[in-house]
Amino acid sequence: MSLYQAILDETAPDGMRLTTTKLVDRNTVWQLESSSGFAAKVTQGRAAIFTCKKAAALTLDALSECCAPFGVGEAVECDESQYILAIGLLDDAELMVLATEAGADVVASPVEFSPTSDDVRSIVGTLDDYYFGYEDRYRTVYENGAHLWESEEPNASLLQMMQERPDVFSGHIIDLGCGEGRDSLYLLSQGHTVVSVDVSHSALDRARERATAANLDASGFMERDIIYLRGFDENSFDLAMNMGCLHMLVDEDQRARHISRVYDIVRPGGYFIVDHCASEWGKGFFSIPDYEEVATGLVPGRVIPRKIRVADGEKNIDLEVLPFSERSGDALAEEISRYGFSLVNSTYTNTEAFGSSTMLLFQKPASGKQTS
């Protein structure tokens, strides 16, 4: 068993032991290193992890290149030439660590260095804006009395695709950006095998609660960053679904990494479904009934009233407009095909979840070879 797999399984091979490092706040930078290689996994909260070369100069540019956000269940492996810098993105984050050699220790200690910890925190502050935006969104909605931000029902576009192409929904399915699990829970109720990933731990907690209440398997709901999709083997899914999550990524590099990783984890001959806003983001949304009145204010960073469902009906609360991306069907098909997928069909949809959108079905070539 590889060290990476061992830390994922939280299993210590003979002579080795698992230890825990607490990232007690969001200010302290911790350095983890060992004379041998080691692996680390986030077991609580969320952390920014910098995988650094021991022999390389530590510059701001180098730190920016080697930093990525990790959520619960995500792991990283270092060889003997590397070490880790870690900082909590949430209070009380924790890492589990495992050394490659029996008896070898992984030393974890708070550090101050040049560049300073403040420099590191400035880099962390630019990371993963969509995570913090959506985690804040779900938490705020719940604090204002809503049981769910989304509808309990599966997306209308998913039901449409299941009716038109039932053959696509077979084998091992991954729901990318599952939120509170509306689509995953429906698929589970129909007997499908589903892994459901999202970056918002609050939304995932709500999804697990709903699964448990419905006597469905809640173990497939995992905190994973859809940009990186760490911990999933190549060719391991028959179907990947991105129902309204890709249009929340506005950075072209992040979109490219996501699509490329989806290509990796879908088996040759497998499928990829994408439902993506085409135009007039917000129009037709349940939460924006007065679209014409607020349309000019639908600018990322601005605050507008949004409708939520509460126990005694509905009410409006003020929420920040989060970044979003619009793509025509043709532009989206070209973008995703660039990474090796072949377009099967494209359908215009207009639902209260995504408004004016395009739903596209792609297939990975049976050869598994990328075209570009």
Chain segment 199-235, per-residue pLDDT in tens: 888 999 999 999 999 999 999 999 888 988 988 999 9
Do residues 69 and 54 share a domain? yes
pLDDT at 129: 64
Distance between CA atoms of residues 240 and 269, nearest Å? 12
Tell me what pLDDT residue 41 has: 94
Query: Which among 127, 146, 172 is the end of a domain?
Result: 127
* Residue 369, pLDDT score: 62
Instruction: Give the domain-ending residue among 127, 153, 187.
Output: 127
Residue 370: its pLDDT value, please?
59
249 with 155, same domain: the answer is yes
In a domain, 78, yes or no: yes
Report, as ranges of residue numbers, the positions in the chain whose pLDDT lies below 50: 372
Number of CB atoms found within 10 A of residue 114's CB: 7
169 shares a domain with 60: no
Domain end among 85, 108, 127: 127
CA dist., res. 148 & res. 138, Å (int):
8
Number of domains in the chain: 2
d(CA 271, CA 344): 9
Token duo for residue 350: 């207009």
User: What's the farthest any 2 CA atoms get from each other in the chain?
Assistant: 66
Residue 15 and residue 72 share a domain: yes
What pLDDT is stored for residue 372 in this prediction?
A: 46
Domain of 315, in residue numbers: 131-363
**Does any domain span residue 370?**
no
Q: Kindly report the backbone phi and psi dihedral angles of residue 164, in degrees, each rounded to the nearest multiple of 5, phi listed first.
A: -80, -35
CA separation for the pair 3, 276 (Å, rounded): 38
Q: What is the pTM of this model?
A: 0.84
As beta bridge partners, residue 94 has: 22, 44
Long-range contacts: 343-351, Cβ < 8 Å, 24+? 344/271, 347/160, 347/164, 348/278, 349/156, 349/157, 349/160, 349/275, 350/284, 351/155, 351/156, 351/157, 351/284
Cis peptide before 289 (omega within 30 of 0): no
Give the rounded distance of the alpha carbon of 104 from its chain centre.
33
Look at residue 351 in the predicted model and tell me its pLDDT.
Answer: 78
Same domain, 100 and 186: no
